[in-house]
Structure 1
Amino acid sequence: MTPSPIALIVVDIQNDYFPDGRWSLNGVEAAADKAAQLIATFRERGDLVVHIRHEFTTPDAPFFVAGSVGAQLHPSVINLEDEHVVLKHYINSFRETDLQNVLNRHGIEEIVVVGNMSHMCVDGITRAAVDFGYKTTVIHDACATLDLEFDGVKVPAKHVHAAFMAALSFGYAPVISTAEYLNQSARSAA
């Protein structure tokens, strides 16, 4: 049986999320390294890699200001010339972008999601992709987030990440590690 067309969606791995950026995430460098491993695997197999890049539309944005260095893709995951880069202005990568058209033009039926932030754009694209009928997998150790606070309760990034990965894995998508995904891929190719 021939595997269905698959794409890796690399969500918002941009300079502002790194230590010298305007909105640094916990564990972002380790997550980006895992994402880079997956990008290399998808490229080697000849599968589609789509990069998502977020820019806010107002100049007073806290990060990802249009035209800034912080809004550019991080060098660790930079796109190749022939890879799609989808510019978005909302949490959901499908909203008012050509992402779905790109996937449909390539006959994509399955997507793998990596990137930032676990509790926002990774969550948003995963739920939307499943609602659009794509078989979706999230690679948890290739995603990052940050500490949050709600109603006086401080929530460490590892708990934010775990809560959102648990929620996605409960009803939306398999949530696995980079190693698990690469092992599954190797077995499928054999």
Structure 2
Amino acid sequence: MNNRVLLIIDVQNEYLDGCLPIVDSSISLPLIHQSIRIANAHQIPVVVVQHVSEVGEIEPSAFVPDSHEVEVEKIVQLLPHNLLIQKHKPSCFHNTPLESFLMDIGCNTVVIAGYMTHMCCDTTAREAFHKGYQVEFLKDATGTVNLTTPLGTIDSRSLHETVLKVQSSMFSKVLSVGEWEKSL
């Protein structure tokens, strides 16, 4: 039997009406809400993760403490969850109480939902895998941005699909929310 925990990663106003808009959030956000409702119906603990910038970060204009943008999205705030943790790096494990919580409840499977697919979701999934957890990655309850770096630009769909393919090659079982619900 799998003892799962659903991680709702960085579903914050910054990604909805801030400087880092998630492409197609009107599709992914309702599925994130649905994944929380499914978890609650199956007594699967839900951990909401909130990213907060620290002084000296690369993008200090994003996730500013005590701003509207740093706040967790309103419906996610209102839906029942077991724990709210703040993080300052892409991994939900880095200097947070997440691993202690997972160990305390006997979790062996981490379920990934939220934002951004290529950064915090991917990093957390990989670290969970390396720590010995099974990982389920909800492909339609995650999303990302169009990304421009010094090496070039990639559109959000290509980026999202690439990360899902890499995740499914080793780190995670990649599922839709509907497939995940049927597996419970």
Q: TM-score range by the shorter chain?
A: over 0.9
Q: How does 1:171-186 map to 2 (within 5 A)?
A: 171-185=170-184
Q: Which residue of 1 aligns with 2:62?
A: 63
1:93/1:152 Cα in 2 relative to 1: closer, same or farther (>3 Å)? closer
Q: Secondary structure at the match of 1:139?
A: strand
Q: 1:6 aligns with which of 4, 7, 10?
A: 4
Gaps spanning 5+ residues in structure 1: where?
A: 186-190
Q: Which residue of 2 aligns with 1:99?
A: 98
Equivalent-residue separation in structure 2 for 1:80 and 1:145 (angstroms): 23
TM-score by length of 1: 0.90
Equivalent-residue separation in structure 2 for 1:102 and 1:136 (angstroms): 16
Q: How does 1:148-167 map to 2 (within 5 A)?
A: 148-151=147-150, 153-167=152-166
Q: Secondary structure at the match of 1:42?
A: helix
Q: Are 1:58 and 1:65, in contact at CA under 8 Å, matched by a contact in 2?
A: no
Equivalent-residue separation in structure 1 for 2:155 and 2:136 (angstroms): 24
Gaps spanning 5+ residues in structure 2: where?
A: none
Q: CA RMSD, aligned part only?
A: 1.7
Q: How does 1:1-190 map to 2 (within 5 A)?
A: 3-18=1-16, 20-58=17-55, 61-78=60-77, 83-151=82-150, 153-185=152-184
Q: Secondary structure at the match of 2:136?
A: strand
TM-score by length of 2: 0.92
Q: Are 1:31 and 1:143, in contact at CA under 8 Å, matched by a contact in 2?
A: yes
